[in-house]
């Protein structure tokens, strides 16, 4: 990944008010590394962990949208 690509992703995350996705990508990246280094035998564990994290972030995003709609 070039530096300009990284800057473009950061601009997407924060310029458009989607900073939550920066935390999502960081969490998935870190947990992916942990699963591959510590749970070598548990292939499906990565899928379960990813699914749980995506559900958590989906509810966090929904709560944020609901909160923003109440303000407007």
pLDDT on residue 40: 67
pLDDT tens-place string over residues 11-34: 666 666 677 788 888 888 888 888
pLDDT tens-place string over residues 30-64: 888 888 888 767 668 888 888 999 999 999 989 98
Q: What is the DSSP letter of 41?
A: S
- Residue 56's domain comprises 20-71
User: Does 72 have pLDDT greater than 70?
Assistant: no
> Contact at 8 Å (CB) between 48 and 32?
no
> Could you tell me if residue 33 is inside a domain?
yes
Q: What region, left, alpha or beta, does residue 17 occupy, with left being phi > 0 and alpha being psi -120 to 50 degrees?
A: left
Q: How many domains does the chain have?
A: 1
> Could you tell me if residue 2 is inside a domain?
no
Q: How far apart are CA 26 and CA 31, in angstroms?
A: 8
Is the pTM value of this prediction over 0.75? no
């Amino acid at each position: 990944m070039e530096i300009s690509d990284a800057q473009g992703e950061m601009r997407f995350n924060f310029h458009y008010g989607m900073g939550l996705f920066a935390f999502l990508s960081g969490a998935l990246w870190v947990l992916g590394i942990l699963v591959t280094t510590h749970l070598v035998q548990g292939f499906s564990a990565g899928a379960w962990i990813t699914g749980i994290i995506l559900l958590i972030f989906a509810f966090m995003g929904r709560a944020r949208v609901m909160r923003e709609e109440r303000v407007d």
